[in-house]
Amino acid sequence: MKSKVYFTKEITPESLIKIYEALGVELKGKVGVKVSTGERGSKGYLKPELIGPLVKKLNGTIIECNTAYDGARNTAEDHLKVAEEHGFTSYADVDIMDANGEFKIPVKKGKHLEYDIVGENLKNYDCMLNLAHGKGHQMGGFGANLKNQSIGVASRNGKTYIHTAGKTDNPDLLWNNLPEQIDFIESMAESATAVADYFKEQNKPILYITVMNALSLECDCDAHQGDPVMADLGIVASLDPVANDQAFIDMIWNSTDPGAKKLQERIDGQLGREILPYAESLGLGTRNYELIELD
């Protein structure tokens, strides 16, 4: 059965609200909006003027967790400063979910992780909008909804656990315990599935939106993020994160933009596309989708 993926070429606050509404699921109660706040020095993160109206419409809280690497966002105090500098606190509360601890959720199916470690405050939310910025990624090949739900929702220790494919959850030992690349890619899929399972068991919905703009080779977590290598593609949204990420990848591969090849090389150089069939095998979603254009 095909999953529905909605698409608009227009990247505006209005089109973001329109594509959210097209999903047909109203997010109610305490809404967590998972957005990357961007490392200090990065420039591709989703801008407040673009996503602010949707977040306000949902009365949402921006949710994040601290980084595993040394930078400007590896403590809650510093992370909130960067979120303020980037304009997020001007239109919504920002919750660094692992500021007050963490907890483990089970990984029910997989071969690398026994559990996922997420920020303690994830318990407080009735639903989640996984609002991702689609772009390249220096370690994962690309980042969109799957990465945003795996590394993005994981605590500082949880990020370490995913990056090392279950070898350690100690950030001080991260760089000496990097696994085979495919093991890291698959660990992201396992942790993203664990979060989906955790929400599903409590009848809490997750909606998935990816804004495909500022398409750089590096992630927003890179303080030295480069300029975009190809033109903006638009916005995709789905109830299925695998289908939504697959649609993003397909648009890059189907693009006639000469810069698309650079992004393709970055993604395949890091085995990035391998996350999709593995996530599908875990039951997180399907790569088979129907694209529904809203323009």
Copy the structure tokens of residue 169. Answer: 């959850």
| Amino acid identity for residue 87 in this structure | G
Copy the structure tokens of residue 170. Answer: 């100690």
Alpha carbon 109 to chain centroid distance? 21
**pTM for this entry:** 0.98
**How deeply is 201 buried, as exposed, middle or buried, from its count of CB atoms within 10 A (0-12, 13-18, 19+)?**
exposed
pLDDT tens series, the chain, 295 aa: 999 999 999 999 999 999 999 999 999 999 999 999 998 988 899 999 999 999 999 999 999 998 876 776 777 778 888 889 999 999 899 999 999 999 999 999 999 999 999 999 999 999 999 999 999 999 999 999 999 999 999 999 999 999 999 999 999 999 999 999 999 999 999 999 999 999 999 999 999 999 999 999 998 888 889 999 999 999 999 999 999 999 999 999 999 999 999 999 999 999 999 999 999 999 999 999 999 999 9
Alpha carbon 88 to chain centroid distance? 17
Please tell me the distance from the alpha carbon of residue 170 to that of residue 155, in angstroms, as a whole number.
11
What structural domains and CATH numbers belong to the chain?
3-211+235-259+270-293 (3.40.50.11440)
